[in-house]
């Protein structure tokens, strides 16, 4: 296993530490120009939801530069401190490692051990259920549910492909853990030439994803959203489908993930990290920005409390909000009346 292929491992961190290269020299020395460019490349691949180019390193110096680009990329991502970028970055690093894992045989077990997973056998592998749960708890496909696995004496079996997928997920969590790191403003300024294009990519992404409905107008919320908000404010737990509809609606009308997360802080089962993960996932952290369901689907799931006059003329809660917002604009009613005379 080449440690520069897995720069998030313990061994890689120790290799970087043992070189005793300061952050200042990484920033200033022309020798490390390619490290800075590679670190920025790691980020830009992440913003676009594309893969980070492999950049396989063969010579010793190339491997060292590949290794160093990882902690520098963490510094860069922390300077920008954008929640969607953080998630996308962790995912992109995990996907890069996953591609590299396809070439591993014995190295796979070494990598797994570093991530706290101790697979036994030669493949198919036996994994202790506690390690499995830790790696698979965010994987929602039914096949990953513990109840669908062959649990026997504390161990379950995973195929070679499944082990790599579990490692990918463990890597994503490991990369995300501890981000953003605390970075001096001076360091971020020194990296501006590399950060500016990433910021532009982020702004372009945000502009593409948002529907321009202007400022949030609570009075324009449809009855379904008002009811859900009222239940959340009373500390009630929403069903999964209602929670999804509410979160996706609020994000689409330009509330920030932080504002949406704050709304759920009174829920009895509030778990900050879990809520953040779910909200940012719906906001597009993994590439798809979700929209709330149409009225027909809302009704199917029991999330439509009953129509009002405007509901009868629209088919989507966002259309309700858009139309009601126009009606609520100052002067809208008098203009309409003037138009009638």
HSE-CB for 233 with a 13 A CA cutoff? 6
Q: Is 295 in the site for ligand SF4 (CB under 6 A)?
A: yes
DSSP per-residue codes, 8-53: TSHHHHHHHHHHT--HHHHHH-GGGHHHHHHHHHHHHHHHTTPPPP
Using CA atoms, how far apart are residues 15 and 21, in angstroms rounded to an integer?
Answer: 11
Pick the binder of ligand SF4 from 7, 222, 257, 284 (CB under 6 A): 222
Is residue 224 a contact residue for ligand SF4 (CB under 6 A)? yes
> Among residues 307, 322, 323, 324, which is the contact residue for ligand SF4, using CB under 6 A?
307
By CB under 6 A, the count of residues binding ligand SF4 is 11
Which span (28-36, 134-142, 177-185, 300-308) binds ligand SF4, by CB under 6 A?
A: 300-308
Report angle CA 149, 163, 122 to the nearest 5 degrees. Answer: 95
Cβ atoms within 10 Å of 189's Cβ, excluding its own: 11
Report if residue 317 touches ligand SF4, rule: CB under 6 A: yes
Applying CB under 6 A, the span of 9-17, 86-94, 113-121, 302-310 interacting with ligand SF4 comes to 302-310
* Smallest distance, ligand SF4 to C-beta of residue 248, A: 13
Nearer to ligand SF4, 284 or 293 (CB): 293
- Which one among 311, 324, 329, 334 touches ligand SF4, defined by CB under 6 A? 311
- Asked if residue 317 lies in contact with residue 247, where contact means CB atoms within 8 angstroms, the answer is no
What minimum distance in Å lies between the beta carbon of 175 and ligand SF4? 39
CB nearer to ligand SF4: pick between 73 and 245: 245
* Dist. CA 226–CA 36, nearest whole Å: 49
Residue indicated by tokens 């400022």 = 215
Minimum CB distance to ligand SF4 smaller for 262 or for 296:
296
- Asked if residue 244 binds ligand SF4 (CB under 6 A), the reply is no
Confirm or reject binding of residue 250 to ligand SF4 (CB under 6 A). Answer: no
* 295 in a labelled binding site: yes
Q: Residue 79 annotated as binding?
A: no
Cα–Cα distance between 9 and 5 in angstroms, integer?
A: 10
Instruction: Note whether 119 and 16 are within 8 A (CB).
Output: no
DSSP type of residue 98 = H
Q: Please state the separation of Cα 53 from the chain's center in Å.
A: 20
Binding residues for [4Fe-4S] cluster: 224, 295, 304, 311
| Interface residues toward ligand SF4, by CB under 6 A | 222-224, 295, 298, 304-305, 307, 311, 317, 320
Binding residues: 224, 295, 304, 311
């Amino acid at each position: 296993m080449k440690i520069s292929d897995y720069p998030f491992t313990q061994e890689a961190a120790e290799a970087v530490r043992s070189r005793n290269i300061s952050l200042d020299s990484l920033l200033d020395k022309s020798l490390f120009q390619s490290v800075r460019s590679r670190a920025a490349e790691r980020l830009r691949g992440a913003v676009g939801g594309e893969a980070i180019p492999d950049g396989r390193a063969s010579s010793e110096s190339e491997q060292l530069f590949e290794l160093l680009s990882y902690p520098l990329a963490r510094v860069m991502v922390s300077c920008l401190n954008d929640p969607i970028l953080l998630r996308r970055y962790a995912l992109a690093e995990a996907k890069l490692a996953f591609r590299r894992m396809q070439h591993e045989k014995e190295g796979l077990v070494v990598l797994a051990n570093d991530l706290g997973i101790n697979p036994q056998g030669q493949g198919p592998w036996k994994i202790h259920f506690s390690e499995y749960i830790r790696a698979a708890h965010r994987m929602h496909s039914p096949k990953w549910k513990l109840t669908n696995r062959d649990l026997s004496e504390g161990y379950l079996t995973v195929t070679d492909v499944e082990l790599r997928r579990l490692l990918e997920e463990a890597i994503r969590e490991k990369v995300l853990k501890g981000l953003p790191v605390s970075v001096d403003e001076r360091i971020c300024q020194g990296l501006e030439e590399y950060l500016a294009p990433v910021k532009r990519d982020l702004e372009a992404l945000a502009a593409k994803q948002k529907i321009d409905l202007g400022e949030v107008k609570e009075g324009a919320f449809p009855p379904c959203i008002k009811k859900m908000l009222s239940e959340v404010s009373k500390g009630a737990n929403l069903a999964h489908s209602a929670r999804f509809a509410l979160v996706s609606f609020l994000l689409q009308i330009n509330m920030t993930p932080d504002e949406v997360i704050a709304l759920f802080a009174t829920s009895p089962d509030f778990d900050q990290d879990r809520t953040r993960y779910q909200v940012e996932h719906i906001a597009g952290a993994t590439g798809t920005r979700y929209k709330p369901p149409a009225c027909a689907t809302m009704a199917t799931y029991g999330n439509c409390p009953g129509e009002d006059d405007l509901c009868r003329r629209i088919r989507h809660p966002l259309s309700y909000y858009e139309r009601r917002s126009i009606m609520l604009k100052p002067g809208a009613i008098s203009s309409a009346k003037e138009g009638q005379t």
